Amino acid sequence: MSMTADLDWIKQIDDSLIELGKRPAFAFPTSFPWEAVERALRETFEREDLVLSCAEKGWQSSSVIQEKLQNLGPGILSLAIQVSPLNVPLYFVTTERDITLLMADLLGGDERASYFLEHALLEGFYHYFAAEIVRVVEKSAFASPLSFRLGQLAPSLEEIFKESSLVTDLSLSVEKTTFWGRLFLPARFKEAWKSFFKELPAPPLSEAVQKSIS
């Protein structure tokens, strides 16, 4: 048997390794469960017309992030998301106007949504909505054994733009209204993420690969 034939099995790469190559920034072990989040929100609010979309904007510097946040004007709502046991949170930012528009559609019109216009109640709905998304992510076992939970409500903007971040724009459309938000994954989060998975034992080879080398 030739050396070439002996080494043919090396060309057979696990799907999980291919996925890691597609995501060099963080090396996500699996795809983020956007479709599962969309389905769960449709069921929770009984809205089949709800559409969740995302668009990666790449790495942005601290100064660029600061400028974009300041351009949002007053009424910014920020939220930290903890990924245990990592000690660096990621952040989500939107505006009171977007949350108000979202509530008006999901709760059945301006009259019902007007109950939440008081700032504390508005934040309460925002926190509940974010908690639903985190619950779905946690249930999906995305990035297991890491665990996702809500962190500090309204962290300072200075905390968010103090370093460069990988930025993803999120939109949630209901009928003719679109709610916008922005997700920030700081550089320190990236390093903590990579270090965590680097220390984990290598996953077992798939059955197909095991047969190839046996």
User: pLDDT tens digit string along 172-203?
Assistant: 998 778 889 999 999 999 999 888 888 877 65
Q: Are 55 and 67 in contact (CB under 8 A)?
A: no
> In this structure, how many other beta carbons lie within 10 angstroms of the beta carbon of residue 118?
10
pTM over 0.85: no
Sign of the CA dihedral with 181 first, then 187, 188, and 190 last: positive
- 8 A C-beta contact, residue 123 and residue 116: no
> Is the predicted pLDDT of residue 20 greater than 50, yes or no?
no
Distance from C-alpha of 41 to C-alpha of 102, rounded to nearest angstrom:
12
**Residue 133 pLDDT greater than 80, yes or no:** yes
- Amino acid, res. 133: I
One-letter amino acid for residue 99 of the chain: I
Q: How many helices (H) and strands (E) does the chain have?
A: 10, 6
Task: Tell me the per-residue pLDDT of 23-68, one tens digit each, with 9 for 90 and over.
Answer: 445 555 557 888 989 999 899 888 898 999 999 899 999 999 999 8
